[in-house]
Amino acid sequence: MTIPFTGSYSLDDVQFLLKPMAIQDTPVHIKEALIQSGKKHYSQMLTHESLPPEHYLPLFYQAMDLNQQRMAGHLLVLAKRILATRPHGITLVSLARAGTPVGVLLKHVLKRHFNTEASHYSISILRDVGIDQNALRRILQNHAPESLVFVDGWTGKGVIARQLAASLQAFAVTDGVTIPAELYVLTDLSGSAAVAACSEDYLIPSCILNATVSGLVSRSVYDPNTAAPADFHGCVYYRQFEQHDLSRYFIDTMLACVDHAWQECASDFEIGSHDRLQLQSVSQALLSWISERYCVKQHNYIKPGIGEATRVLLRREAQVLLLQDSDCEATRHLRWLAESRSIPIDIVTDLPYRAVALIREMQ
């Protein structure tokens, strides 16, 4: 497989600047113990994925029915803002992998509805490790730094937004190239994105699934002990899931929904106003309250918002799931995941988000 590669997408969708590789499977409980003991960083390990259970998959289709119109409008909002801020060329750089489907969709929305061609690359950024500088250098061989637009699905605590800013500041020092440290997202819970279509904790349908909605690509990994100096960050390509891949279905369905939204009211899609400082204050207050109420030693163990909570229940060892409402349609899949894994659920009606998951501290 060549690098860059496209996963199960086409060249017209995205180029992944990742290195497909065979990575040893680390079971979740072992991975969690190694992370929390400090023996290994999470970016050095991967728990191999399995296909979604038969009874879980309908929840994805329900999420599509409930949320695709809202997401379609938000894609048009972001596309308009990108056009306004990048008048001399657009290079979409999605953050693998939650940002990847969003980047694919924005590329097509810009072309279909704004007659604007944009290149799209999906690259790795890892907490504490930073952005893949080799991937950035590859992009900059063909694109102006001021054209780059970093895209993700959402913000939780704002860790990745801050990591992006720190990484690009370091890159300016090492490589002498200044890249706008601006993150564009569908929803910004923490007030840390430069541009967001909204700040509401809503269910972005693609967050429900893993590789089967993201080009059959795993989350990114990086082990400095084994990576060559010129390597991109690594990933696993799940070729064995090709018969069950929903990546193309998701893109095609969402683009049809965007087309419909455009025909209905093309001129009405504008960025909503939200107070970033207020969002930051709410985020910090929640982290402080949870740390005290649940005796959480590190903020890394607190994952706010539907998207982040879903990641915990799919990939980590969860201690408890906090829900704002026990009957909310947007968190139905979270209740299913928690109940199937015997994870306790606490209802906290004054929670500022619809869901928060806490990672279990290993003894």
Task: Tell me the C-alpha distance between 232 and 133, whole Å.
Answer: 8
For residue 2, is pLDDT > 60? no
Q: How many other CB atoms sit within 10 Å of the CB of residue 112? A: 14
Report, as an integer, the average pLDDT of 287-307.
Answer: 96
Q: Which amino acid does the sequence have at 71? A: M
Tell me: do 44 and 137 sit in the same domain.
yes
Q: pTM of the prediction?
A: 0.95
Tell me: do 61 and 115 sit in the same domain.
yes
The DSSP letter of residue 46 is B
Give the domain-ending residue among 230, 248, 268.
268
For residue 269, is pLDDT > 90? no
Tell me: do 100 and 44 sit in the same domain.
yes
Range of the domain at 284: 276-359
Among 266-270, 285-289, 315-319, 357-361, which is the least confidently predicted range? 266-270
Tell me: do 264 and 295 sit in the same domain.
no
Tell me: do 68 and 177 sit in the same domain.
yes
Report, as an integer, the average pLDDT of 58-67.
Answer: 97
For residue 245, is pLDDT > 90? yes
Tell me: do 258 and 281 sit in the same domain.
no
- The distance between the two most distant Cα atoms of the chain, rounded to a whole number of Å, is 56
- The SS3 assignment for 223 reads coil
CATH number at 232 reads 3.40.50
Among 42-56, 102-116, 207-221, 267-281, which is the least confidently predicted range? 267-281
Q: Which residue has the tokens 């009405």?
A: 268
Give the domain-ending residue among 224, 246, 268.
268
Tell me: do 284 and 253 sit in the same domain.
no
Bond before 97 cis per omega within 30 degrees? yes
> What is residue 4's predicted lDDT score, i.e. its pLDDT?
66
Tell me: do 293 and 259 sit in the same domain.
no
Give the domain-ending residue among 200, 233, 268.
268
Q: Is residue 35 part of a domain?
A: yes
CATH number at 305 reads 3.30.1330.30
Angle at 323 between CA 74 and CA 246, to 5 degrees: 45
> What is residue 3's predicted lDDT score, i.e. its pLDDT?
58
**Residues composing the chain:** 363
Cα 50 to the center of its chain, rounded Å: 19
> What is residue 42's predicted lDDT score, i.e. its pLDDT?
86
Tell me: do 310 and 250 sit in the same domain.
no
User: Is the distance from CB of 180 to CB of 89 less than 8 angstroms?
Assistant: no
Instruction: Retrieve residue 201's tokens.
Output: 């904790």
For residue 308, is pLDDT > 90? yes
Q: How many other CB atoms sit within 10 Å of the CB of residue 281? A: 12
Q: Is residue 253 part of a domain?
A: yes
Instruction: Retrieve residue 81's tokens.
Output: 């803002």
Tell me: do 241 and 300 sit in the same domain.
no
Tell me: do 247 and 305 sit in the same domain.
no
Name the domain count of the chain.
2
For residue 1, is pLDDT > 50? no
Q: Is residue 1 part of a domain?
A: no
Task: Tell me the C-alpha distance between 93 and 121, whole Å.
Answer: 5
Tell me: do 228 and 313 sit in the same domain.
no
Q: Is residue 7 part of a domain?
A: no
Instruction: Retrieve residue 22's tokens.
Output: 């065979």
